[in-house]
Structure 1
Amino acid sequence: MTQLAHLIESLASGRIALVDLTNRLSADTPTLRLPEPFANLIDFSLEQVSAYDAPGPFWKHHNIHTGEHIGTHLDAPVHWATGKDGDDVSQIPPARLVGPAVVLDFSAEAAADPDFLLDIRHVVAWEDAYGEIPENAWLLLRTGWAQYANDRERFLNADDDGPHTPGFTAQCAQWLAEERPISGVGVETVGIDAGAAGGMEPPFPAHHYLLGNNKYGITSLRNLDRLPPTGAVIVVAPLPIVGGTGSPSRVFAMVENEVPGI
């Protein structure tokens, strides 16, 4: 049996499960809100063109209106000033969009402190337990934030001091970008940076370092609790928008089941 045939058979039998990591996309999907004077993207919406009526008697279809960085989405290098000479979303090699998923679970820490920041020491301790992060991997930071995905206020978690959501220290973002052979990082929050990252040095360090080093980010993930620390394969499927700085994406993982059919 070829490797692809074995994969197909394993998917059909349930020995490999597909786990959807994508939040549903609608007008109610929580989106990033930048303070003045910065401009925000439009929220997602559908515009009905026909619905089995005179404009289209046998079909229903819509125009979609959305920003690139809405809902579960991918950030391409060209999204950030440090990556402005890098790939747009249509130029990302498909091989970089499929790879090992490594899951770092800091949901307890984020529950205790919504401003929790992953640091280098956390990743090194994880590697001591599970092995060094492999080539082309996606580092997925589990914080439990997906539980708020349908509650805009709690998901953005902003007060007079700004938003409070977990993320990465500047040192960790730089280290991951420069010292580990990852394709990118994935988070459960609205963006790959912490809520307070605008006040870090440099501002928004995950964007600054990762996108500036030809690596990517995916946001607003869910179901990370269904993935093991290692062993899953992630597939990130953005729209290949020519000139696009990012795209809403379908993201899923392939996970081995201990008991077939479950």
Structure 2
Amino acid sequence: MYWTAKTVFFVLFGGLFNGINAATSSSCSDIRVVDLSHVHGPKPLTAPFFPPYSFEIVNRSISPALGGNWFETNYIKTSEHSSTHIDSPSHFFKNRLRMHELPLEKLYGPGVIIDVRKQVSRNPNYKIQISDIRRWESTHGRIPNGAVVLLSSGWDKRYPDPNVVFNTKTTSDITSYRFPSFEFNAITFLAKFRSVHIVGSDTPAIYLNSARIDLSGFTFLFQRNIPVVLNVANLDRIPPSGSTVFIPAINIYDGSGAPARIFATVPASKMLKKYYG
């Protein structure tokens, strides 16, 4: 979904993100805000080797202790790596940044949406290659420094059924997973030659080796303190370039990741027509 941005949005965030073109070069009415996250619950997607999500209603009633006012509060238990979320570099690399150590200025950047839905329709295991990145650049220009590069495969439409998302009958067997991701050389290209802030995908992982358990795509980024975002949604609702993507996440002390309410700001003139209004 998206909303017309109101003045309050810029009162709250405009100063914090001063210098972001999408937020400072246009008036409030010229900006659209697009939600790029799945709702966290009631059955958020979680890998089978992570603890399951639980939600407990603690109180939903009139509270005499609070002056007879209505009072709601709940208790949740969740994996850091559940639903739409961010992986901090410490997730798969020792002595790298944890959640509370991530610089806030690294949690946003120009949105680079690499659309491979056509390729995925022919090959569900398609991997973004350097040629796909070059093709994007031939149309939209060189990927800017500090970009948030996101794989758009349409896989978010499968959410949250784990068998459908992981594309397997046996979710306990990681080697059976089949879904779109990045080639290793594409990941190294983005990290070494494009100075990206974040790499992400609308799938459960940015790198997948179906032959064996292989985290090298993750560790190449994490060694360089580049975070990853996963299970991103609604990438078909923002343009390939021209947006600014933000990754607000819970600032968990010593966290290896966190659920995130990822969103993008898009100039109205760049909104895709079928979603504009």
Query: 1:168 deviation in Å?
Result: 1.1
Q: Is the 8 Å Cα contact of residues 63 and 71 (structure 2) preserved in structure 1?
A: no
Query: 1:154 deviation in Å?
Result: 1.1
2:52 aligned to 43, 48, 51, which one? 43
1:240 aligned to 247, 251, 257, which one? 251
Which 10-residue stretch deviates more, 18-27 or 41-50? Answer: 41-50
Q: Give a deviation string over 1:61-86, Cα, whole Å, max 9, x none.
A: 111100110000001111112xx222
* 1:192 corresponding residue in structure 2: 206
Q: Is the 8 Å Cα contact of residues 32 and 191 (structure 1) preserved in structure 2?
A: no
- Normalized against structure 1, the TM-score is what? 0.86
Query: 1:129 deviation in Å?
Result: 2.1
Distance in 1 between residues matched to 2:234 and 2:89, nearest whole Å: 26
Distance in 2 between residues matched to 1:257 and 1:192, nearest whole Å: 30
Query: 1:141 deviation in Å?
Result: 0.7
* 1:104 corresponding residue in structure 2: 114
The one-letter amino acid paired with 1:223 is N
Specify the SS of the correspondent of 1:122: helix
The one-letter amino acid paired with 1:199 is R
Distance in 2 between residues matched to 1:19 and 1:208, nearest whole Å: 30
Specify the SS of the correspondent of 1:231: coil
Query: 1:186 deviation in Å?
Result: 1.5
Q: Give a deviation string over 1:204-233, Cα, whole Å, max 9, x none.
A: 232111111110111111111111111100
Specify the SS of the correspondent of 1:229: coil
Q: Give a deviation string over 1:126-150, Cα, whole Å, max 9, x none.
A: 2122211111101011001011113
1:76-225 to structure 2, matched below 5 A, reads 76-81=88-93, 84-159=94-169, 162-194=176-208, 196=209, 199=212, 203-225=214-236
* 2:19 corresponding residue in structure 1: none
The one-letter amino acid paired with 1:32 is A
Specify the SS of the correspondent of 1:238: coil
- Normalized against structure 2, the TM-score is what? 0.82
Q: Is the 8 Å Cα contact of residues 126 and 179 (structure 2) preserved in structure 1?
A: yes
Specify the SS of the correspondent of 1:153: helix
Query: 1:258 deviation in Å?
Result: 2.3
Distance in 2 between residues matched to 1:85 and 1:79, nearest whole Å: 10
* 1:21 corresponding residue in structure 2: 36
Q: Is the 8 Å Cα contact of residues 190 and 196 (structure 2) preserved in structure 1?
A: yes
Specify the SS of the correspondent of 1:47: strand
* 1:37 corresponding residue in structure 2: none
Query: 1:193 deviation in Å?
Result: 2.2
Specify the SS of the correspondent of 2:269: coil
Distance in 1 between residues matched to 2:211 and 2:64, nearest whole Å: 47
The one-letter amino acid paired with 2:108 is V
Q: How many residues align structurally?
A: 249
1:66 aligned to 71, 75, 78, which one? 78
5+ unaligned residues in a row in structure 1: which ranges?
34-39
Which 10-residue stretch deviates more, 170-179 or 20-29? Answer: 170-179
Specify the SS of the correspondent of 1:253: strand
5+ unaligned residues in a row in structure 2: which ranges?
1-9, 16-21
Distance in 1 between residues matched to 2:185 and 2:217, nearest whole Å: 9
Query: 1:119 deviation in Å?
Result: 1.2
State the percentage of identical aligned residues: 27
Which 10-residue stretch deviates more, 174-183 or 252-261? Answer: 252-261
Distance in 2 between residues matched to 1:55 and 1:71, nearest whole Å: 36
Over the residues paired in the alignment, what is the CA RMSD in angstroms? 2.7
The one-letter amino acid paired with 1:143 is S
Distance in 2 between residues matched to 1:29 and 1:167, nearest whole Å: 21
